[in-house]
Amino acid sequence: MKRRSTRTFNDEPVTKDELEKILEAALLAPTSMNRKPCNFMVVENKDALVELSQCKDHGADLIAGADKAIVVVADTLVADTWIEDSSIALTYMHLMATELDLGSCWVQVHLRSKDGVDAEEVVKEILKLDPQYRVVGILALGHSDNIPEPYTLDVIDKNKIHFRV
Ligand SMILES: Cc1cc2nc3c(=O)[nH]c(=O)nc-3n(C[C@H](O)[C@H](O)[C@H](O)COP(=O)(O)O)c2cc1C
């Protein structure tokens, strides 16, 4: 009910306890056939955050201002459902961050590019990942004074719901 994407962060660090809860949510996420193909790479170093913020042409710059980024790294040799499993884990972390009153935002990597180069390859180079790994996205994370207000249900388009017998 209160989840929103937050793109600006303040200087207050995410605590060890907060980070642990967010990573636990990721580890508890369902995966197809319980194969759990995802690894979660926590990036805290400022230079690395800046590098990640330049991994694609648009929409990743907010990572530079985040306290941490959690890169979801899926092993395609473990599961063919790596897109779905990564997406659910990202969503669970986003929701747990919301629960903890932290700001967070999904940054898409899969299917995006930087100057014509696949953004996944850019991220894999930064993190020195082996070829079988794929990167659906990154969760940018931090405390924020600018978490958008929750939606009220009257602004949500309920015409998306269809009942068919
Ligand atoms: C699959 C997916 C990819 C997204 N990629 C980005 C992104 O690269 N950069 C960004 O700033 N926001 C990204 N977002 C956040 C969306 O822009 C955001 O969810 C949407 O505008 C609705 O706003 P809300 O999350 O506050 O409801 C992404 C969200 C999803 C679910």
The predicted-structure confidence for 30-63, as pLDDT tens digits, reads as follows 999 999 999 999 999 999 999 999 999 999 999 9
Ligand 1 mean position to 108 CA, how many Å?
8
What is the rounded average pLDDT of the residues 146-165? 89
What is the rounded average pLDDT of the residues 106-120? 98
Nearest CA to ligand 1 atom 3: 108
Domains defined along the chain, listed by start: 16-160 (3.40.109.10)
Nearest CA to ligand 1 atom 17: 5
Q: SS3 of 71, please?
A: strand
Q: 138 in ligand 1 pocket by Cβ < 6 Å?
A: no
Q: 4 in ligand 1 pocket by Cβ < 6 Å?
A: yes
Distance CA 129, CA 131 (A): 7
What is the rounded average pLDDT of the residues 12-22? 98
What is the rounded average pLDDT of the residues 132-144? 98
Q: Taking all residues of the chain, what is their mean pLDDT, rounded to a whole number?
A: 97
pLDDT for 165 equals: 81
Q: What are 44's two structure tokens?
A: 């805290």
Please report, for residues 29, 37, 73, 95, 130, the alpha-carbon distance to residue 24 in angstroms, rounded to integers and kept in the order given: 9, 15, 16, 12, 24
What is the rounded average pLDDT of the residues 97-125? 98
